C-alpha cells in the first residue's frame, strides 16, 4: 500500500450509542471509518470552516466520507465526544505533511 493510500483512511470507535428517537442507529463500540475527502467532496464547504471543526461543515461532509455512513441526523444525535473524534479525523486529513511534522507523536 502506498503512503498516500495508507493515510487516506482513519477510524475511531464510538464511545456512545447514536440513537434517533428510540431507535439505535450505531451502538457504542462501533468502528467508524473516515476516508480522506477528495476535492469534489468538499463542494459547498470552506476549508477554513472544516479546519475549525465547524459543526455544519462536519455534518455536511460526514455522509460523503464515513463508513458506515453517518447521515446528518446521525451526526446531530452524536455525543459531543464522538463528534470531536470525527472532527479530529477530518481536520487531520486537511493538514499538510509539513504541519503534521511539527506535532509530537506518541
Residue 28 lies in a domain: yes
* Residues spanned by the domain of 72: 3-96
Residue 9 lies in a domain: yes
Read off the pLDDT of each residue in 96-100 and give the average, rounded to a whole number.
Answer: 79
Domains contained in the chain, number: 1
State the pTM of this model: 0.86
Read off the pLDDT of each residue in 41-68 and give the average, rounded to a whole number.
Answer: 96
Residue 101 lies in a domain: no
- Per-residue pLDDT at 100 exceeds 80: no
Residue 64 lies in a domain: yes
Residue 22 lies in a domain: yes
Report in angstroms the alpha-carbon separations of 14 from 3, 10, 106. 26, 13, 22
Question: What are the start-end ranges of the E strands in 1-106?
Answer: 9-13, 18-20, 23-26, 31-35, 66-67
Asked if 70 contacts 63 with a C-beta cutoff of 8 angstroms, the reply is yes
**pLDDT-based confidence at 101, cuts 50/70/90?**
confident
pLDDT at 1: 44
pLDDT at 96: 85
Residues 73-90: pLDDT tens digits? 999 999 999 999 999 999
Residue 11 lies in a domain: yes
Amino acid at each position: 500500500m502506498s503512503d498516500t493510500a495508507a493515510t487516506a483512511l482513519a477510524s475511531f470507535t464510538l464511545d456512545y450509542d447514536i440513537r434517533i428517537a428510540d431507535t439505535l442507529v450505531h451502538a457504542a463500540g462501533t468502528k467508524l471509518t473516515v476516508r480522506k475527502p477528495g476535492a469534489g467532496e468538499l463542494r459547498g464547504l470552506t476549508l477554513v470552516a472544516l479546519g475549525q471543526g465547524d459543526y455544519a461543515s462536519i455534518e455536511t461532509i460526514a455522509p460523503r466520507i464515513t463508513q458506515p455512513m453517518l447521515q446528518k441526523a446521525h451526526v446531530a444525535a452524536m455525543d459531543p465526544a464522538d463528534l470531536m473524534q470525527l472532527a479530529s479525523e477530518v481536520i487531520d486529513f486537511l493538514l499538510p505533511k509539513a504541519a503534521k511534522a511539527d506535532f509530537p507523536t506518541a
